[in-house]
């Protein structure tokens, strides 16, 4: 097999039309859900990449760092009393108080006083998300919020109190989602900042660098053991152009952003709700769509005769496309039944019409074979035999034409015909007829159109006019009158000046093989008017035979109603 064709066949097998409608709806829901989930992931990426939480934290912490530094520069630089070691005796009673009074109090050089710094930090910055460390210019740590102990009290908590604080399902579900989102958020932030981070170093190195540069320093460090990122701010404490110490603030770069997690959580719930509603609507829609289609399939099986039960067929009655399809299938079923009945009746009529001449031919042949008749009678029999053969030949030709026309009716392409121009062309075909019969029409509106096939409509008027010419006297007139019957139809009447007909025969004349001619009866098979009715019916029109309503036209009047195509 050609590889290209083989590839096309594979693609065709993957087409949704190869699967049941329920599966198609399932695949469609799956595709929409996948696209929705992909959009959800992209939106989360957008939220995380455009998150300003880290920048806002940096601004807030930098503001706190400046406040701490400014306070310490103004209030914590002082001279402290030095320890008096003039009394070297281990016994304190041997040291007189006069020695303390007589000696002057010796103070140190200006330095960073730890007590004030500790009190300020404890009162204002304890239990924050960041940790604060303060070093003096000798690299001695004076303050560390991670190692501050304010109380030695022990609080007792009963387990019964904890058990009463059980989380409900919604809270557990939200916490679970928040944890997953935080991991997802952390991985993206790590990938974003890991390239600009530095290997973690000791605080002393930061203190040295800050004192040396006399500027604020901001760095991102990575802890390879814990695989965590944290940010460090350091600021020198400067007074009178001297550096007295360094304030260091550090905090984890990746903090659980509950606000961002809540937005993602609500969006995820909306996505789940959307999927559930979509599945529910698809289920309802599939029941309303698949069930009537299956019912129509079952009904068509019954109509085709595969099942015996054909009573009380309940077709779906709806106003949507399925209802239209149901009506079309019903109409098609009725058409098929009608065609089957016509075929049966046509077969019976053909058999009957062929049986008569065959019976006559058989009788003549038997009489001739007996050789008991005179030559005169034999000649008459041979003449009858010849006429029967001619009649059978004509009958078979007309039957063939009749069946061919019925087949062509189902396949011909329709067009919009201007009835005035059409009848004018038809009249031109009978200018030189043998009986010198004239064809006249009334004044026809030029804007009247019918939707039909020109060839078949020609056949209708040729049959009707030929029929009128065969019955009308010489030098007579055939009159065609066209009028707008209503807004949807036109009415065409064909009059002639031939002999009248019995009004009780008006329905029989359209039956197959029917003829009431007394002259040249053997030359007509009775299929002409039957063909006319079949063609007019295919145009969704009607034809009937009525008495003439015009005194100057005593012959029959054919009335044709055709749907009007208006422009």
Quick one: pLDDT at residue 310? 55
Cα separation of 217 and 211, whole Å?
Answer: 10
- Kindly report, residue by residue over 348-400, the tens digit of the pLDDT: 767 766 777 777 777 777 777 776 677 777 777 778 777 777 777 777 777 77
Q: Is the pLDDT of residue 273 over 90?
A: yes
Q: Is the pLDDT of residue 522 over 60?
A: no
The arithmetic mean of pLDDT across residues 272-282, rounded, is 90
Tell me the sheet residues that pair with 439. Answer: 478
Query: Phi first, then psi: what are they for 475, rounded to 5°?
Result: 60, 25
Cα separation of 514 and 395, whole Å?
Answer: 13
Tell me the sheet residues that pair with 111. Answer: 78
Which range (193-197, 351-355, 374-378, 539-543) has the least confidence? Answer: 351-355
Binned at pLDDT 50, 70 and 90, residue 184 comes out as confident
Q: What angle do CA 195, 200, 205 make, to 5 degrees?
A: 125
Cα separation of 80 and 160, whole Å?
Answer: 53
Which range (108-117, 229-238, 365-374) has the least confidence? Answer: 365-374
Q: What percentage of the chain has pLDDT greater than the value 70?
A: 80
Query: Phi first, then psi: what are they for 96, rounded to 5°?
Result: -80, 155
The arithmetic mean of pLDDT across residues 284-312, rounded, is 72
**Which secondary structure element, helix H or strand E, spans residue 454, and what is its range?**
helix 454-471
Q: Are 526 and 513 in contact (CB under 8 A)?
A: yes
Quick one: pLDDT at residue 284? 84
Orientation of helix 419-428 relative to helix 454-471, angle to 10°: 50
Orientation of helix 528-538 relative to helix 375-411, angle to 10°: 0
Binned at pLDDT 50, 70 and 90, residue 282 comes out as confident
Which range (20-34, 58-72, 300-314) has the least confidence? Answer: 300-314
SS3 category, 352: helix
The arithmetic mean of pLDDT across residues 492-512, rounded, is 76
- Kindly report, residue by residue over 437-469, the tens digit of the pLDDT: 898 888 888 778 888 888 888 888 888 888 888
Quick one: pLDDT at residue 268? 92
Q: Is the pLDDT of residue 207 over 70?
A: yes
Quick one: pLDDT at residue 361? 78
Residue 22 CB contacts under 8 Å (≥ 6 apart), including other chains: 286, 290
Write out the two tokens for 97. 């108080």
Provide the sign of the torsion angle of the four alpha carbons 504, 510, 512, 513, taken in this order. positive
Residue of 470, 479, 461, 474 lying closest to 425 (CA atoms): 461
Q: Is the pLDDT of residue 180 over 60?
A: yes
Q: Which of 275-279, 385-389, 546-550 has the highest mean pLDDT?
A: 275-279
Q: Is the pLDDT of residue 86 over 90?
A: no
Q: Is the pLDDT of residue 169 over 70?
A: yes
Domains, the chain, ordered by start: 52-80+109-147+167-256 (3.30.450.20), 298-340 (no CATH), 343-411 (1.10.287.130), 412-567 (3.30.565.10)
Q: Is the pLDDT of residue 250 over 60?
A: yes
Binned at pLDDT 50, 70 and 90, residue 90 comes out as very low
- Kindly report, residue by residue over 479-495, the tens digit of the pLDDT: 999 988 777 888 999 99
Query: Phi first, then psi: what are they for 433, rounded to 5°?
Result: -80, 160
**Residue with tokens 């009007």, as numbered in its chain:** 564
Write out the two tokens for 456. 């078949």
Quick one: pLDDT at residue 509? 76
Quick one: pLDDT at residue 162? 47
The arithmetic mean of pLDDT across residues 70-95, rounded, is 68
Which range (116-125, 419-428, 431-440, 504-513) has the least confidence? Answer: 504-513
Task: Select the more confidently predicted residue: 307 or 401.
Answer: 401
Mean pLDDT of the chain: 79
Write out the two tokens for 42. 């992209």
Predicted model pTM: 0.52
SS3 category, 365: helix
DSSP string, 485-537: -SSSEEEEEEE-SS----GGGTTGGGSTT----SSSGGG--S-HHHHHHHHHH
């Amino acid at each position: 097999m050609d590889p290209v064709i083989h590839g096309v066949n594979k693609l065709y097998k993957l087409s949704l039309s190869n699967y049941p409608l329920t599966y198609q709806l399932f695949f469609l829901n799956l595709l929409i859900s996948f696209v929705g989930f992909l959009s959800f992931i992209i939106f989360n990426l957008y939220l995380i990449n455009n998150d300003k939480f880290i920048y806002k934290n940096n601004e807030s912490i930098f503001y706190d760092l400046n406040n701490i530094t400014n306070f310490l520069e103004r209030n914590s630089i002082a001279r402290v009393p030095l320890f008096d070691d003039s009394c070297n005796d281990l016994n304190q009673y041997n040291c007189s108080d006069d020695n303390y009074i007589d000696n002057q109090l010796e103070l140190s050089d200006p330095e960073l006083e730890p007590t004030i710094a500790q009190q300020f930090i404890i009162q204002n910055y304890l239990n924050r998300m960041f940790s604060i460390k303060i070093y003096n210019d000798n690299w001695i740590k004076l303050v560390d919020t991670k190692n501050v102990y304010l109380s030695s009290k022990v609080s007792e908590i009963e387990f019964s109190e904890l058990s009463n604080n059980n989380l409900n399902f919604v809270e557990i579900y939200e916490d679970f989602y928040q944890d997953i989102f935080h991991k997802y958020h952390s991985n993206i932030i790590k990938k974003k900042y890991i390239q600009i981070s530095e290997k973690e170093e000791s605080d002393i190195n930061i203190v040295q660098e800050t004192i040396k540069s006399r500027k604020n320093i901001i760095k991102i460090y990575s802890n390879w053991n814990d695989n965590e990122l944290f940010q460090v701010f350091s600021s020198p404490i400067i007074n009178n152009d001297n550096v007295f110490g360094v304030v260091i603030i550090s905090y984890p770069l990746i903090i659980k952003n509950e606000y961002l997690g809540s937005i993602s959580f609500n969006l995820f719930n909306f996505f789940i709700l959307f999927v559930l509603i979509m599945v529910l609507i698809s289920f309802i829609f599939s029941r309303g769509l698949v069930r009537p289609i299956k019912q129509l399939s079952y009904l068509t099986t019954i109509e085709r005769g595969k099942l015996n039960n054909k009573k009380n067929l309940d077709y779906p009655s709806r106003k949507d496309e399925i209802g239209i399809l149901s009506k079309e299938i019903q109409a098609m079923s009725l058409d098929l039944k009608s065609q089957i009945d016509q075929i049966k009746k046509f077969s019976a009529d053909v058999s009957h019409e062929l049986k008569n001449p065959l019976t006559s031919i058989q009788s003549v042949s038997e009489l001739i074979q007996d050789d008991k008749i005179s030559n005169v009678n034999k000649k008459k029999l041979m003449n009858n035999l010849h006429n029967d053969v001619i009649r059978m030949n004509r009958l078979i030709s007309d039957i063939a034409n009749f069946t061919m026309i019925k087949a062509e009716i189902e396949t011909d392409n329709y067009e919009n015909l201007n009835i005035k121009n059409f009848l004018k062309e038809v009249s031109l075909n009978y200018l030189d007829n043998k009986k010198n019969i004239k064809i006249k029409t009334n004044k026809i509106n030029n804007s009247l159109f019918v939707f039909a096939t020109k060839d078949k409509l020609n056949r209708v008027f040729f049959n009707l006019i030929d029929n009128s010419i065969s019955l009308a006297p010489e030098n007579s007139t055939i009159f065609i009158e066209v009028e707008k019957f209503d807004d949807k139809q036109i009415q065409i009447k064909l009059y002639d000046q031939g002999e009248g007909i019995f009004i009780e025969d008006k329905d029989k004349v359209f039956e197959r093989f029917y003829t009431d001619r007394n002259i040249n009866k053997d030359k007509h098979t009775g299929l002409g008017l039957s063909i006319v009715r079949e063609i007019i019916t295919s145009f969704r029109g009607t034809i009937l035979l009525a008495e003439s309503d015009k005194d100057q036209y005593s012959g029959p009047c054919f009335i044709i109603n055709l749907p009007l195509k208006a422009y």
